[in-house]
């Protein structure tokens, strides 16, 4: 795992990892740490995304409190439905058990498929690559877009992604993947073979058959409402 933190951040990141590990709390790293694990590309976001199942959120909150992290409450309306925010100094820990747009939850299956790797000398788990892509495909709005992360993941994990499983996870939202593949082909014409022909054929077939859902008028609220409606206070804390 990346080893380029300044002294304060390194200590706090390690404090979180050891506190959760010592308490035998099941968790996975997501966000920037998971992207780094899968791609080797690091972006310092000054936060840690921890993914857990809904039943242990309160347990994780107690562990973080014991490690000196304070509960900073809701930073946007509805946060308590999917995320818990904690903070110490300039570092935030975001404990996530559900998608920001509430379309699904973290389940035990995520843990059964989680990747194992090292973080600051300690073995830990990372959100499975397909779930990581699934989460990030919904983050596309005027404040933030995670698709560049997804394209890096596709190139780095070219032959390791279970595309059929990813398509199944997306369900009715498969058009997001179709759009991502178009942008990926444009941005990385030398890597188009990373997306299997079978998946391309399936997406093309679905596009031809797609007539839309007349009961759905707008899906903007699904494109990461946490970012779309978040309060300015949280943005200012992170210098966004």
On whether residue 88 sits in a domain, the answer given is yes
> Which pLDDT score, from 0 to 100, does residue 229 have?
54
Distance separating alpha carbons of residues 146 and 133, to the nearest angstrom: 9
Give me the tens of pLDDT residue by residue for the chain, a chain 240 residues long: 455 556 668 888 899 999 999 999 999 999 999 999 999 998 878 789 999 999 999 999 999 999 999 999 887 778 899 999 999 988 899 999 999 999 999 999 999 999 999 988 899 999 999 999 999 999 988 778 999 999 999 999 999 999 999 999 999 999 999 999 999 999 999 999 999 999 999 999 999 998 877 887 788 888 866 554 554 444 444 554
Check residue 10 and give its pLDDT. 82
Q: 164 lies in which domain range?
A: 7-237
Bridge partners, 49 (sequence order) = 94
Tell me how far apart the alpha carbons of residues 48 and 94 are, in angstroms, rounded to a whole number. 6
Q: Look at residue 2 and tell me if it is in a domain.
A: no
Contact assessment for residue 36 and residue 58, using Cβ atoms and an 8 Å cutoff: no
Whether 28 contacts 51, CB under 8 Å: yes
Q: What is the DSSP letter of 69?
A: P
Handedness of CA 206, 209, 212, 215 (dihedral sign): negative
CB atoms within 10 A of CB 218: 6
Q: How far apart are CA 81 and CA 160, in angstroms?
A: 32
CATH of the domain at 154: 3.30.460.40
- Residue whose pair of structure tokens reads 């090292």 in the numeric block: 118
The pLDDT of residue 6 is 61
Q: What is the distance, to the nearest Å, from the Cα of residue 171 to the centroid of all Cα atoms in its chain?
A: 18
> Which is nearest to 123 in space by CA: 11, 234, 17?
17
- Apex CA 111: angle with CA 25 and CA 198, to 5°? 160
Q: How many domains does the chain have?
A: 1
The C-alpha atoms of residue 217 and residue 222 are separated, in whole angstroms, by 12
């Amino acid at each position: 795992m990346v080893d380029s933190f300044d002294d304060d951040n390194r200590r706090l990141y390690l404090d979180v990892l050891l506190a959760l590990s010592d308490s035998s709390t099941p968790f996975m790293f997501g966000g920037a740490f998971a992207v780094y694990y899968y791609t080797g590309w690091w972006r310092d976001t000054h936060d840690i995304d921890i993914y857990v199942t809904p039943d242990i959120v309160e347990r994780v909150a107690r562990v973080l409190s014991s490690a000196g992290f304070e509960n900073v409450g809701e930073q946007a309306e509805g946060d308590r439905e999917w995320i818990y925010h904690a903070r110490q100094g300039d570092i935030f820990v975001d404990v996530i058990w559900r998608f920001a747009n509430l379309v699904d939850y973290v389940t035990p299956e995520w843990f059964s498929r989680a990747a194992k790797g090292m973080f600051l000398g300690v073995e830990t788990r990372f959100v499975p690559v397909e779930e990581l892509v699934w989460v990030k495909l919904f983050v596309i709005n005027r404040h933030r877009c995670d698709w560049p992360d997804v394209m890096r993941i596709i190139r780095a994990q070219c032959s390791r992604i279970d595309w059929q499983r990813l398509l199944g996870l997306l369900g009715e939202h498969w058009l997001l993947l179709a759009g991502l593949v178009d942008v990926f082909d444009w941005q990385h014409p030398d890597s188009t073979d990373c997306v299997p022909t079978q998946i391309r054929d399936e997406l093309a077939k679905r596009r031809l058959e797609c007539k839309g859902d007349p009961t759905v008028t707008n899906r903007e609220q699904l494109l990461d409402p946490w970012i779309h409606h978040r309060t300015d206070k949280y943005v200012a804390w992170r210098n966004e």
